[in-house]
Amino acid sequence: MKKAIILTLLAVLFIGMGDVLAQCPMCRSAVESGLMEEGNKIGIGLNDGIIYLLATPYLIVLVIGGLWYRRYRRSH
């Protein structure tokens, strides 16, 4: 039962990733063309936001893995 739920969840996540990944190059090129103008603060903030969004899934996996490992070590 758990395997079916996990596989379904992974399938749903991977199906929707095509739309998400397609947007990054478009945003980046729009921001880079906007950075050529003087005084454009929005482009700098958007680039920082992209880095933040990139790091978030890795931090979540790291925390969950750390908690899982700690729980495993306590049980043995």
Segment 1-25, tens digit of pLDDT: 778 888 888 787 777 665 555 556 6
Residue type, 33: S
In the chain, the N- to C-terminal Cα span, in Å, equals: 26
Mention every residue, 6+ apart, whose C-beta is less than 8 A from residue 72.
Answer: none
Question: For residue 75, what pLDDT is reported?
Answer: 87
Asked whether the predicted pLDDT for residue 69 surpasses 90, the reply is yes
Percent of the residues in the chain that have a pLDDT greater than 90, as a whole number: 18
Q: Residue ranges of the alpha helices (H) in 1-76?
A: 2-35, 41-75
More confident residue, 28 or 75: 75
Question: For residue 12, what pLDDT is reported?
Answer: 76
Asked whether the predicted pLDDT for residue 48 surpasses 70, the reply is yes
